[in-house]
Amino acid sequence: MLSLYARGLTTGEISAHFAGIYGASVSKETISRITGKVVEEMADWCNRPLDEVYAAVFIDAVMVKVRDGQVANRPIYAAIGVTLTGDKDILGLWAGTGRGHFPTEQAALKCLYLVTRSLDPTGTGRTRWAMRWKPALNAFAITFGDRFPAAETY
């Protein structure tokens, strides 16, 4: 159910999918309650402690449709940081202004948060990411050693 929601299906489409594939009757309200449990986990994730310093931070946005009275495109901003050890971390997600496909801002954030959780379920992507950033981190450590807290580890 969460996987279907993360792929952008509405609660009605998920309900129809369960009926068509499994012959199971699952109401849209039940699906909303189940996906709603993600909100608590997402709140914990939003309030987690972050590193004091990142070697690089990238800001990007994806436009999503949020329905809040009427449908409009809204940007969801993502901040992605590269730690001093070369790991990438999604620092946060923020909704911009406008309206669109999702019924609420929280529904859009919940869907995108689930997507971030599913990006690298095995953890193998972290290893590849760290290997690509190691030369850049070494250059930062040499150039900015006095301002680079982990410089002595490179």
Confidence band, pLDDT 50/70/90 cuts, at residue 105 = confident
pLDDT at 153 over 60: no
Q: How far is CA 75 from its chain centroid?
A: 14
pTM: 0.55
- Residue 51 pLDDT: 93
Confidence band, pLDDT 50/70/90 cuts, at residue 16 = very high
Average pLDDT over residues 11-38: 91
Confidence band, pLDDT 50/70/90 cuts, at residue 98 = low
Q: Which residues contact 61 (CB under 8 A, 6 or more apart)?
A: 75, 76, 77, 78, 96
